[in-house]
Amino acid sequence: MLFTTGAFLFVYLPVTLGGFFLIARFAGVRIAAAWLVLASMFFYACWRPVHVLLLVASICFNYWAGGLILRAREPGSPTSAKRLLVFAIATNLLALAYFKYANFFIDTLNGLAGLHIHRWSIALPLGISFFTFTQIAYLADVYAGKVAERSPVRYALFVSYFPHLVAGPVLHHSQMMPQFREPRVYRPEFGNFAMGIAFLVAGLIKKVLVADSFAPIAREVFASSLHGAIAPEAAWRGILAYTLQIYFDFSGYSDMAIGLSRLIGVRLPYNFNSPYKALDIIDFWRRWHMTLSAFLRDYLYIPLGGNRKGPARRYVNLLLTMLLGGLWHGAAWTFVVWGGLHGIYLMVNHGWRRLTGRDEPVRARRPPSLAGRTLGNAVTMLAVMVAWVFFRAEDMQSATAMLGAMFGMTPVTAQPLAGWQIDQWFGLAALLLCARILPNTQEIIDGHLGPLVARLCTPGWRPALGMSVGAGIVAVVLTAMISASRQVTEFIYFNF
């Protein structure tokens, strides 16, 4: 069940929200939280019901392991908390390795050793990377003494919460579990509905009207690259289309997740801050998939030593972090190359900053000139698009064919695809420019709609019945038109 379908928007969502608020009012907040857990499990079961058993087992195991680690930290405990942590993390990683990487290991072994081991018949559970790493972070925080919340219902809700379950954002327990204790979450509020619907509609527009419009273009070009050389015009068309598709697809999902959660007053962290405005790769990773960047920094880069052991070790840690970040995205060497490229980009970026004396706090730096900002953004976007080739390509041969065409190494026998008119190229360029210069969703909604809603929701104010009904009808009609305007497609990050 996708966020963009009528079944979700007009059946699942109203039933889930209505049941949640009614149960909270008449049966109590604890039972309402349990209802939301069950609703989230049902949402997950709509893809492959058997995988709900894996999700439930993962939640139960990690909650139990967290309790063991917590007790082992008490003075005089005969059990080693560190050994329990290692055991729990290893168990999580083994499950992830089986479901996501077993066939990748088999294919690699076959290629290196010339073997013919048959691939296993394994269906990848939706969102396994997200809920596995979310819980590994929880276990690490229990070991570090940073966890004060041990409610089993709120823990299960933190992991399985349907707005973020299958494609993020990557959540931290301290961001979510305390919110489910607050009474305001269990009362319907006009302000939450207004803000939530605004984010939800913005995400629908990004996904259905923009991202899905570019998906066929990217799919056609990358499919053609599987069969050999393609023309430069086609290669650039394909990678520019995919650059827009993945941005509006994942950004749209994140906006919808924020909006869905906001309907009940729970605030998810923002995951995007106009990444295509970045002036260098360091800036890009502070803006793109921000919750994953924070996770990789806090639970991988810093434990590896971060920048505390000199420049050389810092560069090694950056490369290792991004290589593992690439492998986290997918079980293929193309993802490893994508992560490795970004690791190299970050090494070069930090090295350049160090060489030019700009490796210092932001407040101490001189702002770059307009020419410097333009050049920095152009170089950054070119580097990002080169890496996107590997992220999207089916295999290394396809990626090589794409890059060869993009940079003038295409054989003269390469056949061009059906050409584009100038207005189609103009539309693509215009959208890239919009992503570069226009304010993002949170800037628009929080900056403009938020203050208006705050003024309306003053003590004693109640929306007029006509206003409420009219706004509801407009939202429903707009949502229905958007969700029915294109063929329903999955979000890109559902594959990870």
Q: What is the DSSP string of 18-84?
A: HHHHHHHHHT-HHHHHHHHHHHHHHHHHTT-TTHHHHHHHHHHHHHHHHHHHHHHTSTT-SS-HHHH
Is residue 307 included in any domain, yes or no? yes
Same domain, 221 and 137: no
Q: Hey, what are 99's tokens?
A: 């479901």
Last residue of a domain, which of 139, 162, 188?
188
pLDDT in tens, 68-104: 999 998 887 877 899 999 999 999 999 999 999 999 9
Is residue 472 included in any domain, yes or no? no
State how far the Cα of 88 lies from the Cα of 138, in Å rounded to an integer: 11
**Does the structure show a pLDDT above 90 at 447?**
no
List the one residue out of 340, 216, 198 whose CA is nearest residue 262: 198
At a CB cut-off of 8 Å and minimum separation 6, what does 50 contact? Answer: none
pLDDT higher at 457 or 174:
174
Same domain, 273 and 375: yes
Same domain, 91 and 117: yes
Is residue 199 included in any domain, yes or no? no
Same domain, 217 and 164: no
How many structural domains compose the chain? 2
Q: Report residue 449's pLDDT band, with 50, 70 and 90 as the boundaries.
A: confident
**Does the structure show a pLDDT above 90 at 242?**
yes
The DSSP-derived string for 78-93 is SS-HHHHHHHHHHHHH
Question: In what helix (H) or strand (E) does residue 266 lie, and over which residues does it extend?
Answer: none
Same domain, 148 and 211: no
At a CB cut-off of 8 Å and minimum separation 6, what does 9 contact? Answer: 3, 479, 480, 483
- Quick one: DSSP state of residue 166? T
Are the CB atoms for 328 and 136 separated by under 8 Å?
A: no
Express as a percent the part of the chain with pLDDT over 90. 61
Is residue 454 included in any domain, yes or no? no
State how far the Cα of 241 lies from the Cα of 217, in Å rounded to an integer: 6
List the one residue out of 282, 294, 293 whose CA is nearest residue 384: 282
State how far the Cα of 171 lies from the Cα of 158, in Å rounded to an integer: 8
Q: Hey, what are 229's tokens?
A: 């050389």
Q: Hey, what are 273's tokens?
A: 């801050």
Q: Report residue 291's pLDDT band, with 50, 70 and 90 as the boundaries.
A: very high
Same domain, 153 and 223: no
pLDDT in tens, 366-409: 677 888 899 999 999 999 999 999 999 999 999 999 999 999 87
Is residue 330 included in any domain, yes or no? yes
Task: Check residue 127 and give left, alpha or beta (phi > 0: left; psi -120 to 50: alpha).
Answer: left
Same domain, 175 and 215: no
List the one residue out of 213, 275, 284, 291 whose CA is nearest residue 435: 275
Is residue 412 included in any domain, yes or no? yes
Residue 329 is a catalytic residue:
yes
State how far the Cα of 259 lies from the Cα of 255, in Å rounded to an integer: 6
Helix residue ranges per DSSP H, 288-369 = 290-296, 311-329, 333-355
Task: Give me the catalytic one of 51, 172, 173, 329.
Answer: 329
Is residue 36 included in any domain, yes or no? yes
Q: Hey, what are 458's tokens?
A: 């003053």
Q: Report residue 359's pLDDT band, with 50, 70 and 90 as the boundaries.
A: low
Q: Which domain holds residue 44?
A: 6-188
Q: Hey, what are 32's tokens?
A: 């309402």
User: Per DSSP, what are the bridge partners of residue 415?
Assistant: 230
Same domain, 171 and 218: no
State how far the Cα of 488 lies from the Cα of 342, in Å rounded to an integer: 32
How many Å separate Cα 90 from the centre of its chain?
Answer: 24
What is the mean predicted confidence (pLDDT) over 201-226?
Answer: 91
List the one residue out of 427, 422, 405 whose CA is nearest residue 414: 405
What 3-state DSSP class applies to 170? Answer: coil
State how far the Cα of 319 lies from the Cα of 341, in Å rounded to an integer: 9
What is the mean predicted confidence (pLDDT) over 442-464?
Answer: 73
What's the residue count for the chain?
A: 496
Residue 20, classified by CB atoms within 10 Å of its CB into exposed (0-12), middle (13-18) or buried (19+), is: buried
pLDDT in tens, 397-422: 999 999 999 998 766 555 556 666 67
pLDDT in tens, 319-345: 999 999 999 998 899 999 999 999 999
Same domain, 133 and 216: no
**Does the structure show a pLDDT above 60 at 462?**
no
What is the mean predicted confidence (pLDDT) over 46-58?
Answer: 94
Same domain, 164 and 247: no
List the one residue out of 82, 119, 55, 93 whose CA is nearest residue 324: 93
Is residue 115 included in any domain, yes or no? yes
Same domain, 181 and 242: no
- Say what the pLDDT of residue 135 is: 94
State how far the Cα of 264 lies from the Cα of 36, in Å rounded to an integer: 11
Q: Reduced to 3 DSSP states, what percent helix, strand and coil does the chain have, rounded to the nearest 5?
A: 70, 0, 30
List the one residue out of 184, 190, 183, 43 whose CA is nearest residue 127: 43
Same domain, 111 and 239: no
